[in-house]
Amino acid sequence: MFHRLPVPDGETVSFTIDGTPAEARVGDTVAAALLVNGVPHCRTTPVSGSPRGPYCMMGVCFDCLVTIDGVGNRQACQERVAPGMRVATQMGSRELDR
Amino acid sequence: MTASPMTSQKPADLVVIGAGPAGLAAAALAAGHGIRTLLLDEQPAPGGQIYRGVTRTPIGDPRVLGPDYRRGQDLVAAFESSGAKRVVGASVWSLTRDAEAGLEIGYSVAGAGTLIQAPRVILATGAMERPFPIPGWTLPGVMGAGAAQTLLKTSALVPDGPLVLAGTGPLLWLLAVQYVRAGVSIGAILDTTPRANWRAALPHMAGFVRSSYAIKGLKQLREARSKVRVISQVTGLRALGSDRIEAVAFRRGDGAEERMPAATLLLHQGVIPNPNLASAAGCAQDWNPDQLCWMPRTDVWNASTVDGVWIAGDGAGIGGAIAAEHQGRLAAVAALSAMGVLDGAGQDREAAPIRKALAGATRGRRFLDALYRPADQFRVPEDDTLVCRCEEVTAGQLREAVRLGCTGPNQTKTFLRCGMGPCQGRLCGTTVTELIAAERRVPASEVGHYRLRPPIKPITLAELAAVSKDDIPAVAAER
């Protein structure tokens, strides 16, 4: 996983990952926040169910898809963590209710 | 997701898409001439990928990211004082040309879609990392070196060990040096540069030694090599693990097989133009046999084949950040001339110093292209390797489809769903073209590329439904 270099204190932001409270630094993308919180993979694929994590970090690969505040298929590398945000790892394809 | 109704409007005379070096320089120059200029960018802060987070990076020690990175601050400052407007967090999903309405751009900010008319457009959508298809490259913990650098620039995040870097090209060495300076321990750098590349690069050496890359590049190589174990001429690279990467296996230059533990494997073998928006807008593309990628066809003013659309920076062919700036300015000068702000003589006068600077910035590029040409086996992988990560299609399946009569990338969609996942073929497109070309024993140019259509980014039906009928853009531009 990833850890943060010693940097000047930044503002932290609280959110949840699959219901578990977590913290990130203001400005972190959701993908960065998942990596620094030790989440091994953010989704499984609809085709084979294999685990995937962030790969390109610039919106190209769509491997970091997660559910954010109830909406599925969001690109974790393109969204910033917001206070109280509910991030959920996404198993398989997006479903009708998210 | 909530969506506000889309409206079609003409907020600017020139719209620039992308806030990297090309887009920032283009917008600043145009706005400086009093043209109403609008810059659309996907990120919350300007800089593109090369200067990602340059105005707000949490990394305090300037040695870590280096002086080249800080050049981005000057570009941003020049843009901000130019009077150009910008929309941040804008994901552009279409660019179409309608005979009556002209150019129309569709983009969304936080789930709300907007359509704007734009008399002139400069695309500065930059580059992406070249796909690096090896067995196991979809395992969590395997990422692009550029991706890891983004985490470093924007969030000061670095990988836990054991860490392995693998591949070829300047960015791999730059990242290694940045990690070394930040105190990050690197287990090994697996250099996949084929020895034969030196022979091909040698004739271009004279241009390279006079370039700004030479001294800088050699210093980086020396610094990385002094601190990290470097294994040369690596082949047969694969990532091993079940739910995430646990080890890396490879063959060394001396033929010996080696295996080492890895929690993170960072792959890199150069960058290629990010093709989707230009392609979906109907801009013609050509295969570049030296850079091994599709490139939009542009003239000496960076004009594309679609009237009113210019393409500048790495999105028009890889030339690096400094060349991108100058190309952005050239395109802006051409757009100003097309708008009647500059006459022919004025256009040439403005362009002369830019062209001179551009020539300087591209010096040495041919040497780099030849030296860091990725090995065939890492561009056209063996049968068991996934090519399309989204739909999980292997090289073997693609070869089988070719044997059954599949002649090009667009047919692989119907045969295999290859390229039809959420990334819309961005990541696998280059590999699919080269693999089919190799299998058919014809040039890549004959095989062709994926045909792309808007929207080039997934948008919800709610967003689309909010477009009133009058505002529905012309589907598929000239092609």
B475 band by pLDDT with thresholds 50, 70 and 90: very low
Q: Using a CB–CB cutoff of 8 Å, tell me whether B158 touches chain A.
A: yes
In this complex, do A54 and B158 lie within 8 Å of one another by their Cβ atoms?
no
By the 8 A CB rule, do B279 and B449 touch? yes
CA distance to B15, B225, B455, per residue, from B476 (Å): 20, 50, 10
B469 band by pLDDT with thresholds 50, 70 and 90: very low
Tens digit of each residue's pLDDT (9 = 90 or more) over B131-177: 999 999 999 999 999 999 999 999 999 999 999 999 999 999 999 99
Q: What is the mean pLDDT of residues B304-331?
A: 97
A3 band by pLDDT with thresholds 50, 70 and 90: very high
Closest CB from B1, B156, B274 relative to A7: B156
Domain B8-128+272-342, CATH number (from 3.50.50.60, 3.40.640.10, 1.10.357.10, 3.40.309.10): 3.50.50.60
B9 band by pLDDT with thresholds 50, 70 and 90: low
- CA nearest to A5 within chain B: B156
Name the segment(s) of chain B with CATH classification 3.50.50.60: 8-128+272-342, 131-269
Amino acid in the structure at residue B249: A
B131-269: CATH topology: FAD/NAD(P)-binding domain (3.50.50)
Residue recorded with tokens 């609008």 = B38
Q: How many angstroms separate the CA atoms of A37 and B368, rounded?
A: 38
Name the segment(s) of chain B with CATH classification 1.10.10.1100: 380-447
The residue among A6, A69, A67, A58 whose CA lies nearest residue A32 is: A58
Q: Is residue A3 part of a domain?
A: no
Q: What is the mean pLDDT of residues B400-415?
A: 95
pLDDT at residue number B473: 44
Tens digit of each residue's pLDDT (9 = 90 or more) over A46-87: 999 999 999 999 999 999 999 999 999 999 999 999 999 999
The region of weakest confidence among B1-15, B34-48, B247-261, B432-446 is B1-15
Residue A84: give its domain's CATH number. 3.10.20.440
The region of weakest confidence among B85-89, B205-209, B304-308, B407-411 is B205-209
Q: Using a CB–CB cutoff of 8 Å, tell me whether A44 touches chain B.
A: no
Tokens linked to B208:
């390279």
HSE (side-chain half, CA atoms, 13 Å) at B296: 34
Is pLDDT of B7 > 80? no
Measured between CA atoms, how close is B156 to chain A, in angstroms? 6
How deeply is B2 buried, as exposed, middle or buried, from its count of CB atoms within 10 A (0-12, 13-18, 19+)? exposed
Q: Is residue A68 part of a domain?
A: yes
Q: Is residue A4 part of a domain?
A: no
Measured between CA atoms, how close is A65 to chain B, in angstroms? 10
By the 8 A CB rule, do B378 and B388 touch? no
B359 band by pLDDT with thresholds 50, 70 and 90: very high
Measured between CA atoms, how close is B151 to chain A, in angstroms? 7
For A22, the domain range is: 12-88
Three-state SS for B334? Answer: helix
B467 band by pLDDT with thresholds 50, 70 and 90: low
Helix, strand, coil share of chain A (percent; to 5): 10, 35, 55
Tens digit of each residue's pLDDT (9 = 90 or more) over B191-239: 999 999 999 999 999 989 988 888 888 999 999 999 999 999 999 999 9
Residue recorded with tokens 């909010």 = B466
* DSSP letter string, B90-154: EEEEEEEEETTTEEEEEEEETTEEEEEEESEEEE---EEEPP---TTTTSTTEEEHHHHHHHHHH
B99 band by pLDDT with thresholds 50, 70 and 90: confident
Q: Is residue A39 part of a domain?
A: yes
**Total number of domains constituting chain A:** 1
Is pLDDT of A12 > 70? yes
Number of A/B CB contacts below 8 angstroms equals: 122
DSSP A80: B
Q: How far is CA B50 from the centre of its chain?
A: 10
Tens digit of each residue's pLDDT (9 = 90 or more) over B423-446: 999 999 999 999 999 999 999 999
CA distance to A15, B28, B53, B404, per residue, from A37 (Å): 11, 39, 21, 47
Stated length of chain B: 479
CATH code of the domain made up of B380-447: 1.10.10.1100
Q: What is the mean pLDDT of residues B260-282?
A: 96
Q: Read off φ and ψ for residue B328, nearest 5 degrees.
A: -60, -45
Q: What is the mean pLDDT of residues B450-471?
A: 76
Strand-pair partners of A51: A44
Residues A21-41: b if buried by 16+ CB within 10 A, e if exposed:
ebebbebbbbbbbbbbbebeb
How deeply is B332 buried, as exposed, middle or buried, from its count of CB atoms within 10 A (0-12, 13-18, 19+)? buried
End-to-end CA gap in chain A: 28
pLDDT at residue number A63: 96
Q: Is residue A49 part of a domain?
A: yes
Scanning A68-97 for CB atoms below 8 A from B yields 71, 73, 78, 80
The residue among B37, B34, B100 whose CA lies nearest residue B470 is: B100
Q: Is residue A21 part of a domain?
A: yes
The region of weakest confidence among B116-125, B204-213, B247-256, B397-406 is B204-213
pLDDT at residue number A25: 96
